[in-house]
């Protein structure tokens, strides 16, 4: 296994969150089957984030013809067609949603908050998936322990989450935690349950939302995807490591390359990160910022890798919800960055091409 993802947050702080009064209370503490009796054939994430989830599942599930449990399942199990699962059991609370899920070969209706035991034999599954649902568990450690029981040694437990949920059903500790602390919570559940080896963390942030998404006009980037995975201890020692999709390649700095790049940008006025033509941009009339010229050049490609990586990079530095765009100053030939909080930011200053 790869090194543990622990260390994102101080475990003592996570423990204090877990021990807080009513950590697992919800606004709606009525039995879950009541809330989930209503059919919700909705996408819980935007299309880009859903593609990422499928990618993560496809990368981590390496077993041939795996036997899979989709724990807290609905109408979509996010399994790539290439997975070739031999059996997929969906356990959830809404019958019609499970019926609509064509990946499932078996369907089980069960409330794991009322009774966290999983109705399966020991060592039944190669893989247990839990997608955008861990935040509803009121007894997560019991459920995780059960996952460990029904997984085969070396089997994969993949927990994927984002930053959206049903507000009345989310547990308080999840809502109170920051995005980073939520990773720490899932790791704490795994450690507390015992018998797992925690793998590397996956985070995808800042990809542009699809143009036809209902929140596109607000300038929000795509929903973030956080994935924590673990293997049940005791797997075969020669098992190849599970490899996450790479989205965080960093390009090392090299002075000569930077100079060459600066020259090319001056000649082409194209973004060095994505190749898209830079836009002429009129600086805002803001007395608090001393802009060097009246016009600068910016990359406004929302899918530019520089912008996409920026959300994650700044999140890692403790500035969630921000990224930056590439900026070129034609007077000095200098490149720098401008911070943004939304993909819409700064666009008002774009000067139309023929002006
Ligand atoms: C946000 S949906 C996510 C569904 C699915 N995993 C997906 O990725 O689209 C949350 C799901 O958790 C299931 N769920 C919520 N509380 C549950 C509980 N106490 N026991 C079992 N399933 C539950 C519901 O049936 C619901 O479909």
Q: What is the pLDDT of residues 231-250, one digit of tens each?
A: 999 999 988 889 998 753 33
Check whether 5 has a pLDDT greater than 60.
Answer: no
Q: What are the C-alpha distances in Å from 116 to residues 71, 101, 113, 137, 143?
A: 11, 23, 6, 9, 5
Q: Whose structure tokens read 């423990």?
A: 15
- Residues 225 and 160: beta-carbon distance below 8 Å: yes
Task: Report whether residue 186 contacts ligand 1, using a CB cutoff of 6 Å.
Answer: no
- Angle ∠(78,81,82) on CA atoms, nearest 5: 120
- Residues 108 and 119: beta-carbon distance below 8 Å: yes
Going by alpha carbons, the residue nearest to atom 12 of ligand 1 is: 72
Going by alpha carbons, the residue nearest to atom 27 of ligand 1 is: 74
Cα(73) to centroid of ligand 1, in Å? 5
Q: How many angstroms from the chain centroid is the CA of residue 255? A: 34
What are the tens digits of pLDDT across the range 156-195? 999 999 999 999 999 999 998 888 889 999 999 999 999 9
Q: What are the C-alpha distances in Å from 128 to residues 40, 90, 114, 118?
A: 22, 10, 20, 12
pLDDT band at 254 (very low <50, low <70, confident <90, very high): low
CA distance 239 to 255: 41
Atom nearest to 165 CA in ligand 1: 1
Q: Report the residue among 30, 37, 74 best suited for mutation to probe ligand 1: largest number of ligand atoms under 8 A from its CB.
A: 74
Task: Please count the other Cβ atoms lying within 10 Å of the Cβ belonging to residue 214.
Answer: 8
Task: Report whether residue 32 contacts ligand 1, using a CB cutoff of 6 Å.
Answer: yes
What are the tens digits of pLDDT across the range 25-39? 999 999 999 999 999
pLDDT for res 41: 84
Nearest 10 degrees: CA dihedral of 105, 89, 244, 174?
A: 140
Check whether 67 has a pLDDT greater than 70.
Answer: yes
Higher-confidence residue of 214 and 88: namely 88
Task: Report whether residue 135 contacts ligand 1, using a CB cutoff of 6 Å.
Answer: no
What are the tens digits of pLDDT across the range 284-315? 887 667 777 889 999 999 999 899 989 988 88
CA distance 236 to 1: 11
Among 295, 320, 151, CA closest to 235: 151
């Amino acid at each position: 296994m790869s090194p543990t993802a622990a260390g994102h947050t101080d475990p003592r702080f996570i423990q204090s969150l877990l021990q807080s009064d009513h950590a697992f209370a919800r606004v709606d503490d009525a039995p879950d089957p009541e809330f989930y009796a209503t059919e919700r054939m909705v996408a819980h994430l935007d299309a880009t984030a859903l593609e990422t989830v499928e990618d993560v599942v496809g990368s981590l599930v390496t077993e041939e013809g795996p036997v899979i449990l989709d724990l807290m399942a609905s109408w979509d199990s996010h399994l790539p067609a290439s997975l070739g699962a031999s059996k997929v059991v969906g356990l959830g609370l809404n019958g019609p949603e499970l019926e609509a899920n064509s990946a499932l070969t078996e369907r089980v209706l069960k409330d794991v908050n009322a009774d966290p035991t999983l109705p399966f034999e020991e060592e039944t599954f190669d893989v247990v998936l839990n997608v955008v649902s861990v935040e509803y568990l009121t007894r997560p450690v019991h459920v995780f322990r059960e996952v460990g029981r029904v997984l085969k040694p070396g089997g994969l437990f993949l927990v994927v989450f984002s930053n959206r949920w049903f507000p009345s059903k989310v547990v308080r500790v999840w809502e109170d935690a920051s995005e980073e602390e939520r990773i720490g919570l899932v790791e704490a559940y795994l450690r507390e349950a015992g018998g797992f080896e925690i793998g590397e963390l996956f985070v995808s942030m800042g990809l542009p939302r699809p143009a036809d998404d209902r929140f596109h006009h607000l300038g929000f980037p795509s929903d973030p995807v956080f994935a924590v995975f673990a293997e049940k201890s005791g797997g075969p020692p020669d098992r190849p490591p599970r490899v996450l999709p790479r989205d965080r390649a960093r390009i090392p700095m090299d002075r000569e390359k930077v100079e060459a790049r600066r020259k090319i940008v001056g000649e082409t006025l194209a973004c060095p990160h994505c190749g898209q033509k830079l836009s002429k941009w009129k600086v805002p009339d803001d007395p608090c910022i001393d802009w060097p010229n009246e016009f600068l050049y910016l990359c406004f490609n929302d899918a530019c890798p520089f912008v996409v990586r920026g959300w994650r990079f700044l999140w890692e530095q403790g500035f969630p919800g921000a990224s930056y765009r590439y900026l070129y100053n034609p007077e000095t030939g200098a490149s720098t960055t401008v911070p943004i909080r939304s993909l819409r930011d700064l666009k008002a200053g774009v000067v139309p091409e023929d002006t």
